[in-house]
């Protein structure tokens, strides 16, 4: 049995007729940039994410960048970010000229450890960017309490966790202004690049709308040095078709994770994902850890099972960030996760048989020695 790491066969394919219909409407409208489709999706996504405003953008990285720009974060400012995040969170901080300050994650939950945040705060700290990694909400209650105490802004990186909750409150609705991504492989994915910011702050939403469109509110009148970071009409129309399916797809991801949890319990030296008792997990990724990661990955590849590593090199050890002067050993928890993590296939439509086949193959790897 061949099982790819990711397949759209049971998400995009079954809604092909609706997607083609959306494309036809978009095509016939002959309105390609910032029209009814973007506005419609923004309203729908704001409602889904339980916020007052959603501003559609070109991708998730641009969303994080615009969020920081809207908050006025810049040169000389420090922004706290988890040491094991995807590079995009850190790049957004660099784009505005601020300095990333890494805080280690909790080794069991893989999200930023709130008990380590306060020691990283300096007089220059302006914001925190919690990342709901792999699909599990961070402890947003603790993070918001720290933010309030130290007068810091919070920008959630919600790219991997659309629909996740902490104490019943949805991710992307806690921070001052938050970014998400609709990259095709994300839980809610377009057919190309797309993203958005979500916020309850009308002023910040307005700033984001101006910044995404050359810094102009009124055509050809430029108030600030803005960008072209707009969500396409076409992608917005596809996202409107897909959004109503998201909760069903999330349920399927959670079922698949539960099957893995049974099938992989006690197998070899595997460490299975854990969920904080107050959090929900929407399983963008199902990440296990093992000290035999590379050989297990080779074995699964040879047996037709696709896997990936999220992520093999933590940001502080990337060439792009040597100037921060952080050497190997500086952030041992992020490094340990990078050395041992392996993402198994998880996509809506995967059957129980597939999950059992993968679990059995992994058990066989460990029996084989
Ligand atoms: C995907 C992702 C991003 C960037 O989104 P793009 O749309 O690919 O630019 C940012 N942060 C995290 C955690 C992501 O997974």
Q: Whose CA is nearest to atom 10 of ligand 1?
A: 88
Mean pLDDT across the stretch 52-74?
A: 98
Tokens of 145: 């309490």
Residues 127 and 151 occupy one common structural domain: yes
Residues 261 and 229 occupy one common structural domain: no
Say how many Å lie between the CA of residue 160 and the centre of ligand 1.
Answer: 7
- Cβ atoms of residues 110 and 83 within 8 Å: no
Say how many Å lie between the CA of residue 250 and the centre of ligand 1.
Answer: 18
**Domain of 138: which CATH number?**
3.40.640.10
Q: If you search the block for the tokens 């994770």, which residue do you land on?
A: 257
Indicate if the pLDDT at residue 340 is higher than 90. yes
**Domain of 352: which CATH number?**
3.90.1150.10
Tell me what pLDDT residue 369 has: 63
The per-residue pLDDT of the chain, averaged, comes to 98
Q: Whose CA is nearest to atom 12 of ligand 1?
A: 159
Q: Whose CA is nearest to atom 7 of ligand 1?
A: 60
Is 280 within the bounds of a domain?
A: yes
Residues 227 and 253 occupy one common structural domain: no
Give the DSSP H or E segment for 287. Answer: strand 286-289
Contact residues for 235 (Cβ-Cβ < 8 A; gap 6+): 182, 190, 191, 192, 193, 194
Tokens of 166: 């902490």
Is 4 within the bounds of a domain?
A: no
Among candidate residues 227, 243, 259, the one where a domain is terminated: 243
Residue 112, SS3 per DSSP: strand
Residue 132 CA: nearest ligand 1 atom is 13
Is 89 within the bounds of a domain?
A: yes
Indicate if the pLDDT at residue 15 is higher than 70. yes
Tokens of 77: 């400012």
pLDDT > 90 fraction of the chain, expressed in percent and rounded: 99
Domain that holds residue 27: 9-243
Tell me what pLDDT residue 347 has: 98
Residue 193 CA: nearest ligand 1 atom is 7
Between CA 360 and CA 245 the distance in angstroms is 31
Residues 173 and 32 occupy one common structural domain: yes
Residues 188 and 42 occupy one common structural domain: yes
Residues 175 and 110 occupy one common structural domain: yes
Instruction: Please give the backbone phi and psi of residue 299, each rounded to the nearest 5 degrees, phi first.
Output: -60, -45
Residue 128, SS3 per DSSP: strand
Sign for the CA dihedral angle at 179, 343, 141, 82 comes to negative
How does DSSP assign 52-107, residue by residue?
Answer: SEEEEES-HHHHHHHHHHHTT--TT-EEEEETTS-HHHHHHHHHTT-EEEEEPBPT
Between CA 12 and CA 15 the distance in angstroms is 6
Which of 164, 72, 174, 162 is CA-nearest to residue 114? 174
Residues 216 and 275 occupy one common structural domain: no
pLDDT digits (tens, 9 = 90+) for 81-103: 999 999 999 999 999 999 999 99
Q: How confident is the model at residue 126 (pLDDT cuts 50, 70, 90)?
A: very high
pLDDT > 70 fraction of the chain, expressed in percent and rounded: 100
Number of independent structural domains in the chain: 2
Indicate if the pLDDT at residue 368 is higher than 90. no
Say how many Å lie between the CA of residue 1 and the centre of ligand 1.
Answer: 31
For 288-313, b/e burial (b = at least 16 CB within 10 A) is: bbbebbeebbebbeebebbbbbbbee
Residues 170 and 210 occupy one common structural domain: yes
pLDDT digits (tens, 9 = 90+) for 245-297: 999 999 999 999 999 999 999 999 999 999 999 999 999 999 999 999 999 99
Residues 74 and 187 occupy one common structural domain: yes
Instruction: Measure the CA angle with vertex 336, ends 163 and 367; round to 5°.
Output: 90
- Cβ atoms of residues 187 and 135 within 8 Å: yes
- Cβ atoms of residues 241 and 189 within 8 Å: no
Residues 232 and 96 occupy one common structural domain: yes
Residue 136, SS3 per DSSP: strand
Say how many Å lie between the CA of residue 185 and the centre of ligand 1.
Answer: 10
pLDDT digits (tens, 9 = 90+) for 172-199: 999 999 999 999 999 999 999 999 999 9
Choose which residue among 132, 159, 287, 309 to substitute to test ligand 1 binding: the one with the highest number of ligand atoms within 8 A of its C-beta. Answer: 159
Give this prediction's pTM: 0.98
Q: Which residues are near ligand 1 (CB < 6 Å)?
A: 59-61, 85-86, 88-89, 131, 157, 159-160, 181, 183, 193, 195
3-state helix/strand/coil string of 215-256: CECCCCCECCCCCECECEHHHHHHHHHHHHHHHHHHHHHHHH
Indicate if the pLDDT at residue 135 is higher than 90. yes
């Amino acid at each position: 049995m061949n099982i790819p790491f990711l397949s759209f066969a049971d998400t995009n394919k079954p809604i092909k007729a609706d997607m083609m219909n959306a494309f036809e409407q978009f095509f016939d409208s002959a309105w390609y940039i910032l029209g009814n489709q973007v506005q419609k999706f923004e309203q729908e996504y704001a409602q889904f994410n339980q916020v007052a405003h959603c501003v559609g953008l070109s991708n998730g990285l641009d969303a994080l960048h615009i969020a920081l720009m809207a908050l006025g974060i810049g040169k000389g400012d420090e922004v706290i970010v988890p040491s094991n995040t995807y590079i995009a969170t850190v790049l957004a901080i660099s784009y505005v000229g601020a300095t990333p300050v890494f805080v280690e994650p909790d080794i069991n939950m893989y999200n930023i450890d709130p008990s380590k945040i306060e020691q990283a705060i300096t007089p220059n700290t302006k914001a925190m960017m919690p990342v709901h990694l792999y699909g599990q909400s961070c402890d947003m209650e603790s993070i918001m309490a720290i933010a309030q105490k130290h007068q810091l802004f919070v920008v959630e990186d919600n790219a991997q966790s659309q629909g996740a909750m902490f104490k019943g409150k949805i991710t992307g609705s806690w921070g001052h202004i938050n970014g998400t991504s609709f990259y095709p492989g994300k839980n809610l994915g377009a057919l190309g690049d797309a993203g958005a910011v979500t916020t309850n702050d009308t002023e910040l939403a307005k700033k984001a709308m101006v910044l995404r469109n050359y810094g102009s509110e009124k055509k050809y009148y430029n108030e600030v040095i803005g960008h072209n970071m707009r969500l396409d009409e076409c992608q917005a129309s596809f996202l409107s078709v897909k959004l109503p399916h998201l909760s069903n797809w999330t349920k399927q991801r959670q079922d698949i994770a539960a099957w893995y949890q049974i099938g992989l319990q006690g197998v070899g030296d595997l460490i299975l994902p854990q969920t904080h008792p107050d959090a929900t997990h929407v399983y963008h990724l199902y990440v296990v850890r093992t000290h035999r990661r590379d050989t297990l990955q080779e074995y699964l590849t040879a047996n037709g099972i696709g896997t990936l590593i999220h992520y093999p090199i933590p940001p502080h050890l990337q060439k792009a960030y040597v100037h921060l002067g952080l050497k190997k050993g500086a952030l041992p928890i992020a490094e340990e996760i990078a050395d041992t993590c392996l993402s198994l296939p998880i996509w809506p439509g995967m059957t129980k048989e597939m999950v059992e086949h993968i679990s059995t193959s992994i058990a066989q790897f460990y029996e084989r020695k």
